[in-house]
Structure 1
Amino acid sequence: MRIGADSVPEPPRPGMFSNARVYGDHFFLSGMHAGAAEGPVGGDDTYAQATETFRRVRELTEACGARVDDILVLRVYLTDINDKGAVGKARSEVFSGDFPCSTLVEVSALVDPGLKVEIEAQGVIGSASGS
């Protein structure tokens, strides 16, 4: 089932991909970033972009019927690996308990100029400790 959240922009070209999908008790989030029509939320500030990106991840996760701690896997893409500290700071403000497995890689570019971070997530609804 395709899932959306009112506070997360829909893909620019409908029919190309979904922001989120649920299959059984599993949920999958496409790569989220801080992109907006007027430029990245947070401008050139990687921490601000990461904070907005994690906000979108949280909103979509909740729209899937899960909690952020139900996320089991994260894939983080950065245009500058030296920004990993800023992303780590934003990440530490989101997760608690059992942290998701994670991959972090540097890429040459993201979909729109100015974007510095993109985050993909997947998990199982109700898998968090204490759910």
Structure 2
Amino acid sequence: MVAGSPDMGDVIRTDSAPKPMGHYPHARRVGNLLFLSGIGPRHPDGDHIPGNEYFADGRLKHYDIAAQAHAVFDNVRSVLEASGAHFSDLVDVTVYLTDMARDFKAYNAIWAEYFPDAGTAPCRTTLGITALPTPIAIELKCVAVLHDGAAPRT
């Protein structure tokens, strides 16, 4: 779904990505720039988090950073496509990891699968943080540039 505002650009929402955890859109187009809200690995059909295992009392027992990283990229792809964009349109990505020491090497290898040519990959900043709003280990914040003719799907 796309809604327009003369001052704030087009708002992008899609059912092919997980619902935002708060009152904000999946993305907003302003001019030829597309700003994606933080996107995690939750499954679009609910709150299932790929690779998570839980104790009987609901506490997180184990997570799989590879499963979560691939799910994040799937969710980013869904929002980009709903906006008329592609991975090749990404210009800047901020990565949030809850355990930099444990997960950076694995995440970096998965990043290289999606962006094998460093010369055409988006810029990237990776931050180690203490927590995210749900029991996820990774979240991406992305900016893409849209080219003439890119139109959001409705």
TM-score of the two chains, using structure 2 as the length reference: 0.73
Q: Deviation of residue 62 (structure 1)? A: 1.5
Distance in 2, matches of 1:60 and 1:89, equals 23
Larger radius of gyration: 2
| 5+ residue gaps, structure 2 | 1-9, 53-62, 149-154
Match of 1:40 in 2: 49
1:9 maps to which residue? 18
Relative contact order higher in (CA < 8 Å, ≥ 6 apart): 1
Q: 1:26 to 1:81 in 2, by over 3 A?
A: same
Equivalent residue for 1:50, pick from 69, 75, 78 = 69
SS of alignment partner, residue 42 of structure 2: coil
RMSD across aligned C-alpha pairs, in angstroms? 1.8
C-alpha separation between the residues in 2 aligned to 1:119 and 1:101? 13
- How much has 1:67 moved relative to structure 2? 1.3
Matching residue of 2:84 = 65
The SS at the match of 2:28 is strand
In structure 1, the partner of 2:144 is: 123
One-letter code of the match for 2:134?
D
CA distance in 2, matches of 1:12, 1:72: 25
Identity of counterpart residues, as a percentage? Answer: 34
Q: CA deviation at 1:94?
A: 1.8
TM-score, structure 1 normalization: 0.85
With over 3 angstroms needed to count, the CA separation of the structure-2 counterparts of 1:51 and 1:26, relative to structure 1, is same
3-state SS, counterpart of residue 114 of structure 2? coil
- Runs of 4+ aligned residues of structure 1 deviating over 3 Å after TM superposition are 36-39
After TM superposition, the structure 1 stretch with the greater mean CA deviation from structure 2, 32-41 or 44-53, is 32-41
Q: Equivalent residue of 1:5, what SS?
A: coil
- Cα distance in 2 for residues equivalent to 1:62 and 1:106: 28
Corresponding position of 1:88: 108
The one-letter code sitting in structure 1 at the alignment partner of 2:138 is: V
Per-residue CA deviations over 1:64-109 (Å, capped at 9, x if unaligned) read 1111111000000001112012212222222254111111010000
**Contact 2:99-2:137 within 8 A present in 1 as well:** yes
Alignment coverage as a number of residue pairs: 124
